[in-house]
């Protein structure tokens, strides 16, 4: 099985961090629709928790309206973007042998913190839970954070690169001593 290379993981980590920041401009939460009295009492319609859940799940992926991540999360949106930015800078810093030691820790902890904040805001939305329901921006953010962690982990755990020293100049070996018949006896032979 072929694995992805070091630079490919860096590219994926930077792209995931950019996607995570971009999802903050998409809808994360929206108010659920309110049922009128006529809809609740319609004959042949069941309005219970299961039907409400299935309708909500269809709105999670298909509803383009709602409050963006920047507006809904407030300060936590800035924190999430900062963690993604730290992870992206750490991934790029791993390309240089001089900064790889520090950069890989920034990548590792920035990615884990971004995943923690995104998952936390997916599970615990701001305000009362009955007032808001999820939209696709929150799910894409968690997916991007997962990609950031899974792409950044091989980069952060890669062995440290050493600075390449220039190869020493080639020095030709001295020629072997030539046999001179006048000065010595010939080699023994049969």
* pLDDT tens for each residue of 27-77: 888 877 776 655 555 565 666 656 666 666 677 677 777 888 898 899 999
For residue 151, is it within any domain?
yes
CATH of the domain at 133: 1.20.120
What pLDDT is recorded for position 65?
79
Rounded mean pLDDT, 89-101:
90
pLDDT single digits (tens) 129-183: 677 888 888 999 999 999 999 999 898 888 877 767 777 888 888 877 666 656 6
Is residue 173 situated within a structural domain? no
E strand intervals along the chain: 27-30, 67-68, 133-134
Least confident of 13-27, 100-114, 176-190: 176-190
Question: Do residues 11 and 154 lie in contact, with contact meaning Cβ atoms separated by under 8 Å?
Answer: no
CA distance 93 to 156: 11
- pTM of the complete model beyond 0.85: no
The DSSP secondary-structure symbol of 131 reads T
Quick check: is 165 in a domain?
no
Q: Could you tell me how far CA 14 lies from the centroid of its own chain?
A: 7
Domain extent, residue 115, equals: 6-156
Instruction: Answer yes or no: is 168 within a domain.
Output: no
Residue 19, Cβ density class (10 Å: 0-12 exposed, 13-18 middle, ≥19 buried): middle
Whether residue 108 is predicted with pLDDT greater than 60 in this model: the reply is: yes
Task: Specify if 63 maps to a domain.
Answer: yes
**Which range, of 22-36, 76-90, 101-115, averages the lowest pLDDT?**
22-36
The rounded distance, in Å, linking the Cα atoms of 128 and 108 is: 33
**Per the domain annotation, does 145 fall within a domain?**
yes
Q: Quick check: is 181 in a domain?
A: no
> Residue 188 pLDDT more than 80?
no
Say if 166 falls within a structural domain: no
How many domains does the chain divide into? 1
Burial of 111 (0-12, 13-18, 19+ CB in 10 A): buried
First to last CA, the chain: 61
Show the CA angle centred on residue 84, arms to residues 144 and 151, nearest 5°. Answer: 50
**pLDDT score of 1:** 44
């Amino acid at each position: 099985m072929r694995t992805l290379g070091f630079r490919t993981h860096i590219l994926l980590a930077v792209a995931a961090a950019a996607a995570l920041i971009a999802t903050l401009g998409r809808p994360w939460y929206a108010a659920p629709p309110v049922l009128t009295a006529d809809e609740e009492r319609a004959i042949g319609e069941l309005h219970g928790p299961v039907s409400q859940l299935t309708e909500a799940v269809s709105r999670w992926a298909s509803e383009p309206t709602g409050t963006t991540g920047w507006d809904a999360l407030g300060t936590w949106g800035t924190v999430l973007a900062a963690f993604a930015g730290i992870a992206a800078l750490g991934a790029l810093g791993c390309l240089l042998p001089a900064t790889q030691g520090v950069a890989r820790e920034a990548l590792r902890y920035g990615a884990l913190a971004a995943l923690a904040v995104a998952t936390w805001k997916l599970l615990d939305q701001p305000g009362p839970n009955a007032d808001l329901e999820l939209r696709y921006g929150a799910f894409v953010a968690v997916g991007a954070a997962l990609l950031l962690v899974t792409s950044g982990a091989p980069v952060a755990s890669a062995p440290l690169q050493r600075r390449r020293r220039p190869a020493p100049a080639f020095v030709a070996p001295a020629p072997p001593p030539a046999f001179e018949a006048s000065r010595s006896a010939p080699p023994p032979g049969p």
